[in-house]
């Protein structure tokens, strides 16, 4: 049977067509077998992220009434599971220590890599101009993952960076040959140092059985997929493959599919030519085109006709590309909301939305606010204004550090009063906050008095004194005194011999669980427990002492690098969505009305956090070319064209361009969408 390549824009019916083909497989193949469910287990379905994986699995299950369960995964989760499943094979091939692999969380990876590279970072041999220590470590780890995604050997990274990155020294005048040669040599040494550091990191993780997503992908690409024993098992396990949105997938996933198709598997692939939102994060849409041309029957779906994009996308792109040559009447369904300052813009946008909802012109669920980047000020200001008007707001993928939770901070403070040698991590302010949060009878004023007069700082044994120590203890009141003494006595009953995880859980049960915790609070506390479990497991693997693990854990949480990201199974039905462009496109949402925030900003033309350093150099099709300023400008414009068409295809009726004359730093804004703003009508 022919492999299908289903191509079309957003909301064009790609997924529906893919599911119909899956149902055809079920009727003509699965149902004819002696054990249909066993046959359906030989279907490998890959989606781009965890949420889309759940959505795809649910839709395939519903389409066949639950008769034919399939294996659904993201590329990274599939690689992770395969590396774990065939770990003994890797142990034998690479002479690993025979120990079960341990997956590092992102925050653990960052912290541990900083320690491994400490000497290189302290001496300055490992550096990049303009980057601080934390950002440099993160950039190097991202380079590792990008290289693995593209199927490149780790040793190739210095050459790829040296050949591909254009530097000022290489573009200088020929008269400065000696200086140019010296600078070029220094830059080459810099890239080589990065390559050596990454190999040191890989060897360190291999020796201790530690897995990061970069390590996992590298192992799968270079040591598992080429292995004949693994290939034999892979051919037995999967006879069908479904790839939802190949334009968002890395090259190594394409290599996996090529192998399966070569060995008589059947495939269905969907592809959005206006997608590729993850192009700067490891996706390689051009490489997937090879599979389309050589292995598949192409089904080209027309653009969705019920969207705003069907009406104006072509002319909008024309205006953005060549604004000087265009003269077009203002669009009926593109409006502008203007202000001088950005702070005033937030209020104008929120009040416009509130008025539209109050008048019945739109419901909250009809509206999305989309921005190229959402800073904390914008996120908070817009959400706060709308919530005061009793309008629900849903920030997509809202990740807040655990340290933002007063309950989490108070539990960490409580730990320092029980376990020794943690006195330098606690202050009077910490104690005052703990007294307010863990008791309901002590207000901030009384907590301040108690922390000032009854807390004894000490590097080894900080502790709380009896409330009578305060010579005006009668000012505390009976309820506050009783609550304080109850907490103090409970602390005195605890012992440092108990495992910290057990202590945290016990404190939650005693002080927090009796209250009515919100869903967000419960999720945050759960994230704290899970993070602690991971951290202690890692500490034991690295043979660290319990006291060192505990001290590092408290500092890690307080740094704010660990975020709580509670899984919400269903979106609130009546909420205004607040998202970045990348979040909105990846979630595949659509709305009647879209509000494009900061429309006059230069950020619309830039990849921002959705584009990693040197990402284009690791694409399969680069072939050692230098990445110039012209290449970057062309790539930015292509990205802008795709996202504009994609966003317009995801709105039904109206787009509002929300912009301020001045940016946050007071500069005049002159972004690429300004010509579109100039021909839009003011919002009425």
Reported as a single tens digit per residue, the pLDDT across 372-419 is 988 888 888 998 999 899 998 888 877 788 999 999 999 999 999 999
Q: Is the pLDDT of residue 570 over 80?
A: no
Nearest residue to 18 via CA among 317, 219, 241, 171: 241
Q: In angstroms, rounded to a whole number, what is the distance separating the alpha carbons of residues 44 and 426? A: 51
Predicted TM-score (pTM) of the model is 0.91
- Report d(CA 567, CA 565) in Å as an integer: 6
Q: What is the rounded distance in angstroms from the CA atom of residue 458 to the CA atom of residue 558?
A: 20
3-state class (DSSP) for residue 331: coil
What is the residue-averaged pLDDT of the chain?
A: 90
Tell me, what's the pLDDT at 324?
64
What three-state secondary structure class fits 582?
A: helix
- Beta partners for residue 596, in sequence order: 370, 657
- Which of the four pLDDT bands, split at 50, 70 and 90, describes residue 60? very high
Say what the pLDDT of residue 237 is. 94
State the average pLDDT over residues 432-449.
93
Checking if the pLDDT of 171 tops 50, the result is: no
Q: Which has the closest alpha carbon to 291: 254, 249, 245, 242?
A: 254
For residues 654 and 652, give the distance between their C-alpha atoms in angstroms, rounded to a whole number: 7
More confident residue, 212 or 682: 212
What tokens does 624 get? Answer: 């050692």
509 vs 172: CA distance, rounded Å: 66
How high is the pLDDT of residue 623? 73
Q: pLDDT tier at 638 (50, 70, 90 boundaries)? A: very high
CB 480 within 8 A of CB 441: yes
Cα 614 from Cα 632, distance rounded (Å): 11
Region 594-604 average pLDDT? 92
User: Is 577 a residue whose pLDDT tops 60?
Assistant: yes
DSSP 569: S
- The pLDDT score that the predictor gives to residue 170 is 39
Q: Please tell me the number of Cα atoms within 13 Å of 327 on its side-chain side.
A: 0
Can you tell me the distance from the alpha carbon of 475 to that of 446, in angstroms, rounded to the nearest whole number? 8
β-partners of residue 287 are none
CA-CA distance, 504 to 484, in Å (whole number)?
Answer: 19
Task: Categorize the per-residue pLDDT at 510 as very low, low, confident or very high, splitting at 50, 70 and 90.
Answer: very high
Measured distance CA(319)–CA(325) in Å, rounded: 8
> What is the helix (H) or strand (E) element at residue 243, kind and residue range?
strand 240-243
What is the number of residues in the chain?
684
User: Quick check: 609 pLDDT over 90?
Assistant: no
State CA 355 to chain mean position distance.
Answer: 34
Which residue did the predictor score with more confidence, 69 or 571?
Answer: 69
Contact 182, 72 (CB under 8 A): no
Strand partners, 656: 335, 595
Q: At what angle do helices 251-262 and 75-85 cross, to 10 degrees?
A: 70
Neighbours of 272 (CB within 10 A): 26
Q: pLDDT tens digit string along 229-245?
A: 999 999 999 999 999 99
Per-residue pLDDT of 521-547, as tens digits, reads 888 899 999 999 999 999 999 999 999
Which string of DSSP letters, residue by residue, matches 460-487? S--EE--GGGSTTGGGG-HHHHHHHHHH
Residues β-bridged to residue 3: 296
The pLDDT tens digits for 23-43 are 999 998 888 888 888 889 999
Examine the pLDDT at 57 and tell me if it is beyond 50: yes
Rounded to whole angstroms, the Cα distance separating 643 from 316 reads 12
Instruction: Report phi then psi at 131, rounded to 5.
Output: -110, 135
- What digits encode the pLDDT tens for the residues 280-300? 999 999 999 999 988 899 999
Residue 417 confidence (pLDDT):
95
Query: β-strands 296-300, 3-7: how paired?
Result: parallel
**Which pLDDT does position 569 carry in this prediction?**
46
Q: Any idea which residue has 């922390």 for tokens?
A: 451
Q: Give the closest residue to 251 by CA, choosing from 223, 198, 291, 213.
A: 291
Q: Is the pLDDT of residue 176 over 60?
A: no
């Amino acid at each position: 049977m022919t492999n299908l390549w289903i191509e079309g824009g957003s909301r064009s019916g790609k997924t529906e067509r893919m599911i119909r083909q899956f149902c055809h497989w079920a009727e003509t193949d699965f149902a004819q077998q002696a054990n249909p469910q066993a046959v359906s287990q030989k279907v490998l379905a890959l989606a781009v992220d965890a949420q889309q994986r759940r959505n795809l699995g649910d839709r395939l299950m519903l389409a066949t009434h639950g008769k034919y369960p399939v294996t659904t995964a993201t590329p990274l989760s599939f690689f992770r599971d395969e590396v774990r499943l065939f770990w003994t094979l890797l142990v034998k091939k690479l002479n690993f220590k025979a120990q079960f692999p341990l997956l590092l969380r992102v925050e653990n990876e960052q912290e541990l890599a900083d320690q491994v590279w400490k000497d290189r970072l302290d001496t300055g041999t490992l550096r990049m101009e303009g980057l601080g220590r934390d950002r440099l470590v993160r950039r190097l780890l991202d380079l590792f993952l990008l290289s693995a995604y593209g199927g490149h050997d780790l040793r190739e990274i210095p050459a790829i960076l040296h050949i591909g990155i254009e530097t000022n020294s290489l573009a200088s005048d020929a008269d400065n040959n000696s200086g140019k040669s010296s600078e070029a040599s220094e830059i080459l040494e810099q890239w080589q140092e990065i390559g050596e550091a990454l190999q040191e990191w890989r060897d360190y993780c291999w020796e201790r059985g530690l897995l990061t997503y970069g390590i996992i992908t590298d192992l799968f690409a270079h040591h598992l997929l080429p292995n004949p024993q693994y290939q034999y098992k892979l051919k037995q396990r999967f006879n069908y493959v479904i790839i939802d949105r190949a334009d968002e997938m890395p090259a190594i996933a394409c290599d996996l599919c090529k192998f399966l198709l070569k060995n008589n598997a059947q495939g269905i692939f969907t592809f959005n030519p206006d997608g590729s939102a993850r192009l700067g994060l490891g996706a390689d849409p051009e490489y997937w085109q090879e599979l389309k041309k050589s292995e598949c029957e192409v089904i080209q779906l027309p653009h969705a006709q019920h969207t705003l994009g069907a009406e104006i996308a072509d002319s909008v792109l024309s205006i953005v590309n060549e604004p000087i040559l265009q003269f077009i009447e203002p669009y009926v369904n593109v409006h502008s909301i203007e202000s001088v300052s950005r702070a005033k813009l937030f209020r104008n946008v929120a009040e416009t939305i509130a008025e539209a909802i109050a008048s019945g012109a739109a419901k909250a669920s009809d509206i999305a606010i989309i921005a190229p980047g959402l800073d904390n000020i914008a996120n908070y200001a817009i959400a706060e204004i709308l919530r005061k008007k009793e309008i629900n707001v849903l920030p997509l993928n809202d990740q807040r550090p655990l340290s933002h939770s007063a309950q989490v901070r108070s539990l960490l403070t409580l730990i320092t009063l029980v376990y020794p040698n943690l006195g330098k991590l606690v202050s009077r302010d910490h104690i005052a906050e703990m007294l307010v949060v863990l008791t309901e009878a002590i207000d901030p004023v009384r907590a301040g008095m108690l922390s000032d007069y009854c807390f004894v700082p000490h590097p080894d044994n900080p502790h709380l004194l009896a409330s009578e120590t305060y010579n005006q203890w009668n000012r505390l009141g009976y309820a506050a005194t009783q609550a304080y003494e109850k907490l103090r006595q409970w602390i005195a009953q605890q012992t440092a011999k108990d495992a910290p995880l057990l202590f945290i859980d016990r404190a939650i049960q005693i002080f927090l669980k009796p209250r009515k915790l919100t869903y967000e609070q419960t999720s945050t506390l759960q994230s704290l427990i899970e993070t602690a479990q991971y951290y202690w497991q890692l500490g034991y693997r690295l043979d660290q002492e319990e006291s060192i693990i505990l001290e590092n854990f408290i500092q890690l949480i307080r740094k704010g690098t660990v975020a709580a990201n509670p899984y919400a199974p269903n979106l609130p039905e009546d909420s205004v969505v607040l998202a970045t462009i990348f979040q909105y496109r990846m979630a595949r949402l659509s709305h009647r009305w879209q509000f494009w925030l900061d429309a006059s900003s230069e950020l619309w033309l830039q990849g921002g956090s959705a584009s990693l350093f040197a990402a284009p150099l690791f694409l399969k099709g680069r072939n050692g070319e230098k990445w110039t300023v012209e290449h970057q400008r062309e790539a930015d414009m292509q990205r802008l064209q795709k996202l504009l068409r994609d966003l317009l295809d995801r709105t039904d009726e109206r787009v509002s361009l929300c912009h301020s004359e001045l940016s946050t730093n007071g500069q005049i804004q002159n972004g690429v969408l300004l010509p579109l703003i100039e021909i839009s009508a003011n919002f009425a």
